[in-house]
């Protein structure tokens, strides 16, 4: 099937843009058939009117419109601040639950509703929220981004938060599967290793997923090596994405990789069936063999529907040039359900 330049199915790559408006080379990049979404950062925000105009320009480039996302969790991870409500960090709801378990879910609902409503108003489709990670004393890097150290309490607060997002018309994207809360390392700068057995992870980190799997439309992977479970990080792992997430948890939504330019993804040692497929593809010369293309292809073979490449436009262009991908309506329809206009929550 052939497509016109401006009528393209959504592809499996999420990229970013540099500033407050689009440059011509960025418009060209966003028209590549492999692109399906754009993530915005604080550098892309000056005012509500400015970001609304930027998003409108992004979405006018092609049909169906590219998805637009942002990290707007609250606390220390809130990209849009001026003229937006300053949102509390997730653990504020956990602290409140310790004092008043009746009002904490209500406050979580209200914060999520505010977050989602304000983003939808300027054209954002979804925030990468909420954080499903169950915090531990070892995890300073996640820390106050988690709702609670008790997985059942975390699931209760997460459920209320998701209800608030849904009430505003936004889907929920859980991160970082299967859990980033058990390690001290920051996967932006290193490859953290979690030595716990699958039984412990299931009884702790996977509880929010077990409780809420039918309430989330997307999952973002963790760049953490669970060394007792698999020799690949979840981003590259058939075990985590297919056996655990798709089969055992029966998740049917969109799987996102975390940013493939993070050190955790770069340092990860791949393995498993997805790596075998990848090696076969390289041996057949059917894909380019640069590191970013290898990483993306590996993630897609493992089960990621969309891969993120952030803050490195040179690598984004390298990936778009080398990735083996044929535009298809099935993936595009799946991704389109994340749109704030298209989702039937």
Candidates 154, 173, 174, 172; CA nearest to 163 is 172
Residue that the structure tokens 């300073």 belong to = 140
Q: Cβ contacts of residue 128 below 8 Å, gap of 6+?
A: 39, 69, 70, 71, 73, 173, 175, 220, 256
Neighbour tally for 112: CB within 10 Å:
28
Q: Which helix (H) or strand (E) holds 221?
A: strand 218-221
Tokens linked to 240: 């985590």
User: Which DSSP string corresponds to 19-72?
Assistant: SSS--HHHHHHHTSTTEEEEEE-GGG-S-HHHHHHHHHHHHHSSBSPPEEEE-E
Cβ proximity of 208 and 179 under 8 Å: no
Q: Cβ contacts of residue 137 below 8 Å, gap of 6+?
A: none
> Of the residues 71, 150, 186, 188, which is catalytic?
188
194 included as an active-site residue = no
Output the CA–CA distances (angstroms, integers) from residue 195 to 82, 123, 140, 248, in the order listed: 41, 41, 17, 21
DSSP 150: S
Neighbour tally for 280: CB within 10 Å:
11
In terms of Cβ atoms closer than 10 Å to its own Cβ (0-12, 13-18, 19+), residue 201 is buried
Candidates 156, 191, 194, 174; CA nearest to 263 is 191
32 included as an active-site residue = no
> Of the residues 133, 163, 230, 258, which is catalytic?
258
- Give the SS3 label for residue 209: helix
Catalytic residue IDs: 188, 258
């Amino acid at each position: 099937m052939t497509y016109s330049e401006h009528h393209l199915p959504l592809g499996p790559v999420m990229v970013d843009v540099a500033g407050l408006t689009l440059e011509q080379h960025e418009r060209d990049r966003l028209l590549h058939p492999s692109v399906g979404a754009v993530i915005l950062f604080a550098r892309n925000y000056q005012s509500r009117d400015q970001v609304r105009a930027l998003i409108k320009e992004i979405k006018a480039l092609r049909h169906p419109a590219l998805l637009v996302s942002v990290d707007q969790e609250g606390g220390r991870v809130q990209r849009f601040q001026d003229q937006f409500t300053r949102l509390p960090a997730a653990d504020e709801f956990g602290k409140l639950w310790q004092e008043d378990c009746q009002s904490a879910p209500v406050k979580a609902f209200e914060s999520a509703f505010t977050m989602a409503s304000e983003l939808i108003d300027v054209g954002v489709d979804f925030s990468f929220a909420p954080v499903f990670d169950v915090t531990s004393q070892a995890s300073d890097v996640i820390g106050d981004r988690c709702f609670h150290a008790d997985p059942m309490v975390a699931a209760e607060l997460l459920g209320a938060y998701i209800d608030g997002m849904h009430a505003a018309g936004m889907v929920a994207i859980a991160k970082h599967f299967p859990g980033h809360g058990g390690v001290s390392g920051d996967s932006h700068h290193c490859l953290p290793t979690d030595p716990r057995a699958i039984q412990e992870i299931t009884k702790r980190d996977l509880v929010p997923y077990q409780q809420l799997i039918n309430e989330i439309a997307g999952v973002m992977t963790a760049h953490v090596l669970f060394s007792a479970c698999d020799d690949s990080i979840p981003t590259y792992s058939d075990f985590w994405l297919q056996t655990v997430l798709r089969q055992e948890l029966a998740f049917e939504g969109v799987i996102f990789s975390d940013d493939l330019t993070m050190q955790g993804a770069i340092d990860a040692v791949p393995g498993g069936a997805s790596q075998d497929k990848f090696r076969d593809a390289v041996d057949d010369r059917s894909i380019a063999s640069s590191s970013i293309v290898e990483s993306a292809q590996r993630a897609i073979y493992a089960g990621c529907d969309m891969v993120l490449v952030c803050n490195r436009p040179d690598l984004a262009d390298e990936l778009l040039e080398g990735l083996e991908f044929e535009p298809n309506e099935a993936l595009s329809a799946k991704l389109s359900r994340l749109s704030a206009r298209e989702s039937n929550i």
